[in-house]
Amino acid sequence: MENTLNKSLQVITTVELLKHWQDHRALTRRTIDAFPEKAFFNHTIGGMRPFSEMVMELLAIAAPGLKEIASGITAPFNENIEHGNQKAKILELWDNATEEINTYWSQIKEEQFQQTIKLFGQYEGTVWSSIFYFIDNEIHHRGQGYVYLRSLGIEPPAFYERN
């Protein structure tokens, strides 16, 4: 998307927000990769979901949510994409989403960020707050993944390293 606004008058530009998100997604990818294959699908604490299920939620939100923002077409929320309990398959879905996010982002107009949308037919808010929710929710669950890794005796990737 062409940035037509004066950057010095923006808190954050659309280009910066996309990079911020993709840098977080690169860190989440490294977090997924740090899990042993079995633990990714089985390890839990306190009755919570295994990290793989949290990641499937993130995948159900990110590219589909952004597609809806870009196209205006509502689709139902779907966390149940087939992955056959294979981490490599989920990493492939992750990489596909990375490309889709870049594509849909380029179709969103700058003036849309302050407009209201009802995502997946049920979550109403501004476009910016929806995208912030996508990012915040990813950070939240990745932080939980860090505890899972630590409880397995594995050091998670550095939080401050993003790309």
Which residues in this chain contact its own copies in the complex, by CB under 8 A? 5, 7-14, 16-17, 20, 24, 45-48, 110-111, 113-114, 128-129, 132-133, 136-137, 139-144, 146-153, 159-160
Helix (H, G, I), strand (E, B) or coil at 68: helix
Q: Residue 116 to residues 22, 53, 113, 129: CA-CA distances in angstroms? A: 23, 29, 8, 9
- Contact between 55 and 90 under an 8 Å Cβ cutoff? The reply is yes
Shortest Cβ 88–its own copies spacing (Å): 26
Q: How far apart are CA 121 and CA 131, in angstroms?
A: 16
Shortest Cβ 120–its own copies spacing (Å): 13
Query: 36 or 92, CB closer to its own copies?
Result: 36
Shortest Cβ 84–its own copies spacing (Å): 27
Q: Which among 27, 78, 35 is positioned nearest to 56, based on CA atoms?
A: 78
Q: How far apart are CA 102 and CA 145, in angstroms?
A: 25
Shortest Cβ 83–its own copies spacing (Å): 23
Query: 84 or 158, CB closer to its own copies?
Result: 158
Query: 9 or 73, CB closer to its own copies?
Result: 9
Q: How far apart are CA 98 and CA 11, in angstroms?
A: 24
